[in-house]
Structure 1
Amino acid sequence: MIADKAIANMARAIPATHFSTNDLPASDQFDAWRDIISAIFDVGRLGGPNSDSFEARVDAYQISNLVVTDSNQGEQAYSLTPKRIRATGMDLIQIGLYRSGGYRGDANGRSIEGQAGDLQILDLARPMKTVEPASDMVCIFMPRETLQDRIGDLDGLHGASLRDDMGGLLADYLRLLAKRLPRLSGDNGDAAANATLEIISACLRPTAATIREAQAPLQNVVLQRAKQIIEGNLRSPHLNSEFLCGALGISRRSLYRLFEPLNGVHQYVLRRRLSQIRRALKTNAHQGIAVLAEQHGFTCKETFWRAFKRQYGVTPGEVRSASLSRQKDERPSPEPGLGVWLQQLQHG
């Protein structure tokens, strides 16, 4: 009876996978780790040619539409290049707690640095590179839309560190979550995911607001209204400064000042249109690239191509080809694991 009960409890456990280099030959350890982490990042050795061994461990758990990892790993360099972003197709947000270690590097042109106890936010669809000592971490991965629906625009969060009281609260929760997940019943997976998202949203909302609200409160209300109008008219050929000024009842000068922290209204509209097209290229294999561009206000093929390449480092055709290749290479019943789970987050 006791054995039967234990087996039943195990059957109801949340999906989990475990990796460690401990049982591998020293010369194979880093290559094995690189294969695992390549689901997200490119990594490089920092210990020099004489450093054969590499200690790393990662336990991954899937709870509803979240993936949580509990890991420790040796010193190394991480990077997300346009090529890697294209290869993985990840449109995810990563929130990582450094229980020990830290990081120093660049997030899409902005210098970033953190230490033990810090929380780091990464947009896995944007370039980054860091150098990190041996670190012990808890990370949560979620689809961009899942977080965006709860806290609004995520502009400015890539590379951000949370060091305030709310960041400390979230760090405490992630430590507790990492301890509880190995014993969490599968029946409680959805509830745990919902609770985790609520806590993350509550703790990140002030940070996102601080980044967004560099303007006065009234300006922010107008800015949010402007963003709503833009989102609803991304396919309209009439979406321009004149249209927005008329819809908002403000002057052109006020409009430009409103979007100045976001690199200007033209650039903001351009980024949103390109983002919509990029998503469509990965999910709709039957619609022509030129048609998508025209539907989103691009009247010149060359202008669209240059803008897309400048934004993402790859061409629209390369994004479409990479997406088709991933779909073609998928196995009917892939083995569960970190890479598979992260890809599943992409597709709901």
Structure 2
Amino acid sequence: MRGPNLRLEGTTFGPRTISAWREAVAPFWDVEIRKEDTPDFRGRSEVYHLGNAIIGLTAASGLRNERSRRLVARMGVDHVAAQLRMEGQATIRAAGDEAPIGPGDVALLDLSQPLLLDSTDYRAITVIIPRGLFPEGGARLGEAHGTVLRARNPFGALVSDHLRSLGRNVAHFTPAEARVAAQATACLLSAAAGTTIETDPIGRSSERAPALLAIRSHIDVEIGSADLSVEQICRRFGVSRSALYRLFAPLGGVIEYIRRRRLARAYRDLAERSGPAARISEIAYRYGYGSPASFTTAFRAEFGVSPADVKAGARAEGASPERRGLPELSGTGWDGFYDWVLTLDA
């Protein structure tokens, strides 16, 4: 591709490679490697920015990748992804379910939700796409989070073949071709997710997607408003309580969804390293908590740390650099990879 790409070569063994690997995947994963595997660990990754998507060609020794609620909140990456396992085995745990992944299988992932991936030595192709690129705003991928498309099934084989072709050709696309390829991939993944979602007899699943996306966008815009409530959403969108509850059932319910989005936004506010820092009490009241104590209890239950811990960590790290569009990166310069992810457009 005539555009920026990043490369991490696995030419060194052990701790040096582990440190570089953790830095490279930091926007997406907390990485855990068994102590006994540390001396022999190797990793290799080549990543291409397509303008409206990112594709990564990776290989590594056995490890555990986790997206905890804390990481989801801290990084603010809210895209969707698909990973094709080329070699090696894995187990994915997401949305309360567990499933094996083998060569040729494709896992569908919603990066706004937690998940855990245990892998043997592996090789994989991963594509990361912003929600806005999907015909239904990624709602189907949200419902299909953690689903595995099997290589032995015809449609799973189709998706697998498409991702293999994307990986083979990505380095040779023109920028215009890269964007079209990403759009086609989003359409195919949306259709694949649709095949995994149970629908009612008259097929309302696809009809629910635009409403769910619109309401989720509204919640994100109004997340700091004291007026945001089930009643306010029903009035705003002309839906009944029961219809609203059905829409959000795959996401744990609308009240739970609002609660987690508020806590995630609070986490990012506390972790903000530029500008004047807000007090914990101010953030607690901003997101609807009656007292700093109740906010701290809910925050610790969600993320395993206190608001004060997050605030202190941000203060210790100092001011973060201002982000100014797509970084000019090449070779092994992974410092701006997070910016790459955030500059994806639809």
* Fold-level similarity (TM above 0.5): yes
For 2:9, the equivalent position in structure 1 comes to 20
| Distance apart, 1:195 and its partner CA | 1.7
% identical aligned pairs:
22
Any conservation in 2 of the 1:142–1:345 contact (CA below 8 Å)? no
Residue number in structure 2 paired with 1:3: none
Name the counterpart of 1:30.
14
Show CA shifts across 1:156-182 (max 9, x none): 343222336554333223222222233
- Of the three residues 204, 208, 211, the one matched with 2:189 is 204
Please report the TM-score for the alignment, with normalisation by the length of structure 2: 0.72
Distance 1:338 1:138, change over 3 A: farther
Matched, 1:344 2:340: yes
Residue 107 of structure 2 is aligned to residue 116 of structure 1: no
Partners of 2:229 and 2:249 lie apart in 1 by 16
Aligned CA distance change for structure 1 residues 68 and 81 (closer, same or farther; 3 Å): same
Matched-pair contact (CA < 8 Å) for 2:53–2:128: yes
Structure with max Cα Rg: 1
Report the counterpart of residue 256 of structure 2 in structure 1.
267
Instruction: Compute the RMSD of aligned alpha carbons.
Output: 4.2
Q: Residue 38 of structure 1: SS of its match in structure 2?
A: helix
Aligned residues: 327
* Counterpart-to-counterpart distance in 2, 1:239 and 1:232: 9
1:311 paired to 2:302: yes
Q: Deviations over 1:217-276 (max 9, x none)?
A: 458756854763564363543443444555566665555455444333321232343444
Task: For 2:271 and 2:52, locate their aligned partners in 1 and report how far apart those are by CA, in whole Å.
Answer: 19
Q: 1:223 to 1:303 in 2, by over 3 A?
A: farther
Structure 1 contact 34–43 (Cα < 8 Å) conserved? no
Distance change in 2, residues 1:144/1:342 (3 Å): farther
Separation in structure 2 between the aligned mates of residue 16 and residue 124 of structure 1, nearest angstrom? 22
CA contact (8 A) 1:151 1:208 kept: no
Alignment of 1:1-348 (within 5 A): 13-22=2-11, 24=12, 29-39=13-23, 40=25, 41-45=29-33, 49=36, 52-81=39-68, 90-107=77-94, 109-124=96-111, 126-143=113-130, 150-152=137-139, 154-163=141-150, 165-184=154-173, 188-189=174-175, 191-209=176-194, 214-215=199-200, 217=203, 221=207, 225=211, 228-229=214-215, 231-232=217-218, 234-235=222-223, 236-245=225-234, 252=241, 255-257=244-246, 259-278=248-267, 285-286=275-276, 288=278, 290-316=281-307, 318=309, 328=319, 336=330, 337-338=333-334, 340-346=336-342
Q: Secondary structure at the match of 1:237?
A: coil
- Tell me how far apart the structure 1 counterparts of residues 83 and 127 of structure 2 sit (CA, whole Å): 6
- In structure 2, the CA distance between the partners of 1:285 and 1:120, relative to structure 1 (3 Å rule), is farther
Structure-1-length-normalised TM-score = 0.72
Q: Is the 8 A contact 2:21 2:43 kept in 1?
A: no
Amino acid at match of 2:185: I
Aligned equivalents of 1:242, 1:329: Cα separation in 2 = 39
